[in-house]
Chain A
Amino acid sequence: MTTTTSARSSLRRDLGLVAWQVRYEQRSYWRNRGRGVFTFVFPLMFLVIFASLDKGARISSRGNIAYDDFFVPGILAYGIITTTFMNLAMNTAILRDQGVLKRMQGTPLPTSAYVAARIISAALVTLAMTIVVLGLGASAYGLQLRAAQLPALLLTLVLGTATFTSMGIGLTRFISTAESGPVVVNLLVFPLTFISNIWFPTDSLPRFLRTIAGIFPIRPLASGLQYVFDPRHARSSLLDGRSLETLAIWLVIGMYLMVRFLRQPQGEVA
């Protein structure tokens, strides 16, 4: 009896610590201008620029749907990747190089609570990004928001956020120094975005490029979100099964990489 009570109270304390840590992770995120511009403002800038360039355009390869119905969910995918994957990979490498991770390891805060707080904090930023992108899309670019989209949207968002969050933390092991962080994440993400339905439809690309894009998780996330908002799918299921499957496989890989990075004791690093 006493053990279960004390276990429950210590769990409650740890959950309180996670919430506490999330507050400070949030303050750190929003106060750092470089981090905010790179991971939050950039996608929104691209949204406004590209949507203005292609005003009124339609996509013939996709049954003449409005370009904005394709592009807004595409930018949402990009925004999820910047707020989770790019944000966490670059920032975790900085914290590691500065010794903050080592310092955290020496405190009584359990590593699991710290990691949970970092993940939740990144997810909160992603949520803010989602609200801004979809709000802008609906108010300025004619995106149709319906209650029926909500379950499929949430499932795709959660799966995508989890995948890119875990991969972002796990990638830190492959970023040798914090200075190389932006280079590594951009090299991994930016070229792929051009073949992954982010900026324009990739339906007419050569087959081998589409095959490559299908292996990596960026196109599955973009396609999954575009599937939800495709006006042609109004009455059928809004879940893009194949994209979600690929994302799920990458989630497993990401979790593996993340656990491996976290198991590495910080004192033994270099």
Chain B
Amino acid sequence: MSCQISVERHLPAAVAVHSLALMSELAIEVRDLRRSYGEKEAVRGVSFEVRRGEVFCLLGPNGAGKTTTVEILEGYRTRSGGEVRVLGRDPATGSRELREQVGIVLQTCGVQEDLSVEELLEMYGRYHLRCRPVDEVLALVELSEKRGERARKLSGGQRRRLDLALALIGDPELIFLDEPTTGFDPAARRQAWSTLQGLRSLGKTIFLTTHYMDEAQRLADRVAIMARGQIIASGRPDELGGRDLRPAEIRFSLPAPWSLSDVPELPEISREALGDRALVMTRDPVHAVHLLTGWALENDVDLGRLAVTQPTLEDIYLELTGDASTDQVGSDQALQGVSA
């Protein structure tokens, strides 16, 4: 807290007011970010903003430049070009004040193995001017019963929860989570999600990367999809790639002797038979289902396994990144050809 005061003291009033206004709205600002490794450009002009209190999710296939982008924001890597502001500061300067306000969960990152869970939280907590009580953080990540256990004896899932606990001990404004639930079983993942939702309700900003679409769908306020070093789509998870405007799919099966041509006209775009299953695409699923089931009841047709679905986030993701990942494979092979 003293850090903020000391910065403002050196700034002209107008600038201070302006930066305060920005700080209150935007947690992260990225403009035309670039990073090359030798000849290869891993991040090619990425721009986005994350508002305070928002859960922002960066999705993308392996090698898309996600980790490079996150590690630039975290201050671990330098950038080749562009502007980056995290909580109003440039992470490349390695400022201690920034590290006071940011919690980081890296993908694979060890701890001092011979210390206990409780000792680690005490040790890391002291680095911060302001920290949360150890008991509270342990309860939040549901690790209280393991507090006396040495880190080397923890299971994979417990380690991941310890990672989260260590990121939270300094009571950060902004939390980076790089694939926080990779390797979790479904129950552990649900548990982690409820923890993260708890953080959101505390008003923390969360920057998440993940491979799991259901995770993004469940947690994120906004999603950006990254491929080949660029952001190819961004928006709310339920609107991404025009998902909300896409036709719905109605699937069912018809018992013999009924066939798809017996089904009356629906407000539909198309219909097709897939083996014993029927697929109807429609922009008006409410009326279509009403007419379909009305017809079925009237004629005593048992519509098996009736289902209505919107395209999932995963469908959109695969559609958007499909070209990108094939291209990626293609260029990798080309590179191998050159080096061979």
Contacts and interface: CB of A to CB of B under 8 A. Distances in A.
Contacts of A110: 96
* Interface SS of chain A: helix
B99 A107 contact: yes
B76 A106 contact: yes
B115 interface: yes
A108 B99 contact: yes
A6 B76 contact: no
A31 B127 CA distance: 23
A103 B104 CA distance: 8
Contacts, number: 80
Given A108-B99, A265-B77, A268-B77, A102 B123 contact: no
Interface stretch (A19-27, A55-63, A141-149): A19-27
B332 to A, nearest CB: 19
B173 interface: no
Given A100-B111, A106-B104, A108-B99, A21 B77 contact: no
A32 interface: yes
Contacts of A180: none
A44 B85 CA distance: 55
Contacts of A99: 106, 108-110
A30 to B, nearest CB: 9
A267 interface: yes
Interface in A86-143: 95, 98-100, 102-103, 105-110
B126 A17 contact: yes
A62 to B, nearest CB: 43
A52 interface: no
A98 B109 CA distance: 6
A4 B128 CA distance: 22
12 contacts: A20-B123, A21-B123, A28-B114, A31-B114, A31-B115, A99-B110, A100-B111, A100-B112, A108-B127, A108-B129, A267-B74, A267-B75
Interface of A: 6, 17, 20-21, 24, 27-28, 31-32, 95, 98-100, 102-103, 105-110, 265-268
